[in-house]
Each structure stands twice: as C-alpha cells, then as structure tokens.
Structure 1
Amino acid sequence: MSIFDRSPQARTAALLSPPFLYSLLLLALPLVAIVLISFWTQTGLDFDTTFTLANYRAIFTQPQYILGNAQNWGVIPVSLFVSATVTAITVVLAYPVAYFVSFVVDPSRKSLWLFLITIPFWSSYLIRVFLWKVILGFNGVINTGLQALGVIREPLEFLLYNLASVIITMAHAYAVFAILPIYVALEKIDRSLLEASQDLGESRFSTFLRVTLPLSVPGIVGAVLIVFIPTIGDYVTPQLMLGAGGRLVANTIQTQFFKGNDAPLGAALSIVTMLMVGIISLVFLFLNRRWLRGRS
C-alpha cells in the first residue's frame, strides 16, 4: 500500500503541489522581483542594487505621474479615471442585458442567448480594437455614413485618438465580463420573493428596486472588480486608440522598461498602480459589505 493510499494529507499535498508551484514560479517570484527592482537604480545596462526610494520619490513629485499640472493630469489619475468610467458604463449597459436574459427569455433559450452574447469575443482582442479604429476613424463607418446622409460635410476629427475612443473600445471589449456575473446573481434570486412583493401591493418597478436590485448586488460587485482591475493595466487599447504620444499608465510602464531603459522606475510605477487599485478595490468591498449589513 502506497503512502497516498494510507494518508489523505499526502493525496491532498500531491494534488495541490502543481498549482502551488505554478503560482509560486509564475506569480509570486516575478512580483517579488519587481518589488526588489523598484528599490534599485538603473546604471546603463546594469542595476545598482543599493537600496533607494528615489523611484517612488520621482513618482510622487514629478507631475507626469500623479500630481499633474494646470494643463494635464498625471498618467495614474487619468488611467484610474478611464478605468472607473469604463467600469461604470459597462456595468450600467450590462445589467439590462443580464436582466433580459434572466427574467424575460424563455428558460429553454437562455443558453442560446448566452452563446450569442459571447460570439463577438471569439475573435482576437486586437482585431476588435482595430475594428473600432475602422468605425471611429477619419474615413471610418460613422464619418462615411454621416457624410452620405448629408449630416456633415467634413469628417469629424474628434471621434478617434482621444480618451473617449479608448473608453468606448474598452467598454465593448469587457462587456461580456460584466454581463455574466450579473446574470449568475440574477439567476440565483428566488422568484417567489418577487411574487410575494407584488402580492403585497408593490409595483414591478418598486419590486425591482427593493428586491431584485439589492439581491443582485453581489453580481454587480463581481462585475465591477472583474472590469476595473484589468482595464487599469490595458496596454493595447491606449496604444492604438490614443495615437502617437498618447499614454496611460500601462504604456508609461512599458516605455520605462524598454525605450527609457529605466526598469526600476517602471517597476515602481507598477507597484504604485497595483497598490492604488488594491486600495480602491478594498474600499469598494468594505462599503459594499457595510451596505449589505445595513440592509440585513
């Protein structure tokens, strides 16, 4: 009889060891390396490993990172603003879709609707970004259509290469990630609670506000976190939709690591961004918990 047959602990350790080692090698160790590098200094192609806070001092004192100036915000506040706006738009637009599939669509057709919702996301993310460039471009679908209808004479130049185009593209790209958790939360709601509310004299709208919406909050919270966290680090969309010179925090980090030859500063920017996103997420979860506790 082998040790795995005699010991449940040994079987558990054998099952958990591969994912644990995977996480350690590909997640924990790179993160530790980034933290260490952020306290070093770049000297040519080598690192000066003397401990220093100069990189963090530069981030919190130089206007291009956090403080900004009279003309422009810093890249981190702008990135947080873009991510928060994308999250708000995505969740607001995703909720009616999830509600429709959960409450209106016949149960036998829900799988088909979920299948149809995910079809646009079978294509590459990069292809979808380029398609939005075609739609919003100087000679794109919108400008061409408006000119054909006689609404405008000259193509509109403000549709592309600005933050609005980045927000539109990201909101479309992450829509499915907001629809699915909200749909799951709505599916878990006991329909008898809605019937009881209406039997007690509540209208369908007040039932939605007082029963459906509060019970779907866990799905909304999940959608917010799923969208907010990755959008802050999106590199491809700002690179393509902002044009030359347009940068958010992910692009700035990439520039420091490669073109700027200043990996320690790029590492420090990564750490500061992760900390800010983590703090915002924890505050959001704390407020949500207090809200749920107050309702209970």
Structure 2
Amino acid sequence: MSRRQRSGRLGRSEAASGLLLVSPTALYALLLLAAPLATILAFSFWSQDYLTIDRSFTLKNYQEAFASQANGDMSLYLELMFRSLRISGAVTVATVLLAFPMAYFVSFHVAPSRKSMWIFLITIPFWTSYLIRVFLWKVILGYNGVFNTTLQGVGIIDEPLTFILYNANAVVITLAHAYAPFAILPIFVALEKIDRSLLEASRDLGENHITTFLRVTLPLAMPGVVAAVLIVFIPTIGDYVTPRLVGGPGGQMIANMIQTQFLKLNNAPMGAALAVLAMLMVGAISVIFVMLNRRFLGGQK
C-alpha cells in the first residue's frame, strides 16, 4: 500500500471518528433546538380556527402584528415589543452598572483567600425559587410593604408611593435583582484575567486612578461586560413571570401576549409569529451590539 493510500485511509478514519464523536451532540441540538424552532417558524405561517389548524401558507399573522389600530396608533403587538425592549434595556443597564462595582471590589480589594467565599455569597439568591424572590419583591414594594412602611416611619413620605408596584418600574427592579449574579460573575472573571502589572505601568507613566480605569481596566474588562449584557438582555426580554406578578397592565411584555395567544386565545400561529418576531428583534440587537463593541475595542487598539 502506497503512502498516499495510507494517508487517505488515515484521514477517512479520523474523519469518521470525529463525526462519531460529534454526532450525539449534533443530534441533541437538532432534536431540542433546531426542531422546535423550525416548528415555531412553520406555525407562524399557518392559521387556526379554535382547535383546527389550517396549514395553508399565509402571512396574515405577520400582517396583523404590524397592522395599525383604527385610530392610527401602532398595533398592540408592536407596542408590547417596544415596551419589552425598553424594560429589558433598562434592566440590562441597571444590572450591569450595579454589578460592575461589586465585581471590581471582589477582584481588586478582596484577599485571594476570601474571593471564593464572596462568590459563594453572591450565588445565595439562587438557593431560593425564582417565584419566591418575585413574591418577596411584591411584598417589599407593595402599598403597605416594607419600603413604603419604612419611608413613612422615618418621615420621608406622608403616604405610600404608588409608582413602584404594578408597573414597569417594579419589573425593572425585580429583574435587576434576579439577574445580578449573572452579570457579576462574567465581569469578575474578566477582571481577574487582567495583568496587574499593566495597571502599575499605567500609574508609573503618570496616569491617575480614573484614567487608568478608563484606559486600561475598562477596555480589558469589556469582554466580561459584553457577556453580562447579553446574558441579562436576552432572557429578560422574554420573561413573562415577573411582568405577570408585579408588572400590572403597564408592565406587561411581549412574552405575556405570546402566552395568551397559545394558552387562552387558542391561536398558536399568532403566538408563533410573535415569538419569531421577538427572536429576530433580540438577535438583531445582539449582533449590532457585538459589532459596535468590536469596533470600539478595535479603536482602542
């Protein structure tokens, strides 16, 4: 057997071994990821009359989603999508801005022997159910809740505040607390990877603490910030439990409408169309954010 034949057989055997190793993961991804997404996409081009599914191709669901109301305002579906975008954006900004100082403190000001304990403490909220945490915030922000009672007790307000529950503000506060650990951990990992000698070099060259942070620490920590933004933004825009419990009419999001279409109105195709539009919106915004961030980092270099 020639050398070329032996190398060809070796290459085929290695390729077969690689495919054999990858095939379980690929099959898993196809069955649990691609197949459901393809089903949702197919449903979005069908129609439903109570329990009867009409599989004829139609764009009626997408036309209804973009159609204006009788008074000329945008459709309810688009309004919910933009509201979801605003709430999720506010949650992301609030969570990352609050998470960065915590991650910075643990990384730069906590002794290495105690960092694991701090990370352990940060993950304590995950010990309780997500629903329990939402209900606790409902108790804290309620009309006669802990927050209003405390402010009245110290004389800051005369009557309970009504704008902190059953609206978008309550959704932002609750989601920001729920997703804080998801933002702290990737930022902490990025800060831990920074070579401390670079910070010392910046100080030796005459930079102060603020300029060193802005020109050295923050750019090097941006991969963690980007990860935190995406980890918080993507799931919060599709959250429906928190808006349902603490959002009230003004805090409902697109996921609540999708749930209503599927479970209450028996209109799975319309719910599927809204789900597809929400996924496209999230995907487009995420890609734009990553591209802008890469251009920013490229400009820093």
TM-score normalised per structure 2: 0.90
**Aligned partners of 1:242 and 1:190: how far apart in 2?**
44
SS in 1 for 2:161: coil
Which residue number corresponds to residue 228 of structure 1?
Answer: 233
> Residues 87 and 172 of structure 2 are in contact (CA less than 8 Å); yes or no, is this contact kept in structure 1?
yes
**Aligned partners of 1:86 and 1:233: how far apart in 2?**
12
**Aligned partners of 2:99 and 2:161: how far apart in 1?**
29
1:264 is aligned, of 246, 255, 269, to 269
Matched AA of 1:185: A
Runs of 4+ in 1 over 6 A off after TM superposition: none
**1:13, distance to aligned residue in structure 2 (A):** 3.4
**Aligned partners of 2:157 and 2:201: how far apart in 1?**
54
CA deviation vs aligned residue, 1:47-78 (integer Å, no higher than 9, x gap): 111111110011111459xx637x99700000
> Residues 63 and 74 of structure 1 are in contact (CA less than 8 Å); yes or no, is this contact kept in structure 2?
no
SS in 1 for 2:160: coil
User: RMSD over aligned Cα, in angstroms?
Assistant: 2.1
> Residues 87 and 168 of structure 2 are in contact (CA less than 8 Å); yes or no, is this contact kept in structure 1?
yes
- Residues 1:250 and 2:224 are matched in the alignment: no
Question: Where in structure 2 are there 5+ consecutive unaligned residues?
Answer: 1-11
**Aligned partners of 1:143 and 1:290: how far apart in 2?**
45
Number of matched pairs: 288
1:12 is aligned, of 18, 34, 37, to 18
Which residue number corresponds to residue 9 of structure 2?
Answer: none
**1:89, distance to aligned residue in structure 2 (A):** 0.6
**1:194, distance to aligned residue in structure 2 (A):** 0.5
- Residues 1:24 and 2:13 are matched in the alignment: no
**Aligned partners of 1:284 and 1:188: how far apart in 2?**
23
Which residue number corresponds to residue 217 of structure 1?
Answer: 222
> Residues 66 and 74 of structure 2 are in contact (CA less than 8 Å); yes or no, is this contact kept in structure 1?
no
1:88 is aligned, of 80, 86, 93, to 93
Q: Residues 62 and 162 from structure 1, CA distance in 2 versus in 1: closer, same or farther, beyond 3 angstroms? A: same
> Residues 167 and 249 of structure 2 are in contact (CA less than 8 Å); yes or no, is this contact kept in structure 1?
no
Which residue number corresponds to residue 3 of structure 1?
Answer: none
Question: Where in structure 1 are there 5+ consecutive unaligned residues?
Answer: 1-5
Deviates further, 81-90 or 150-159: 150-159
Identity across matched positions, percent? 63
Deviates further, 53-62 or 13-22: 13-22
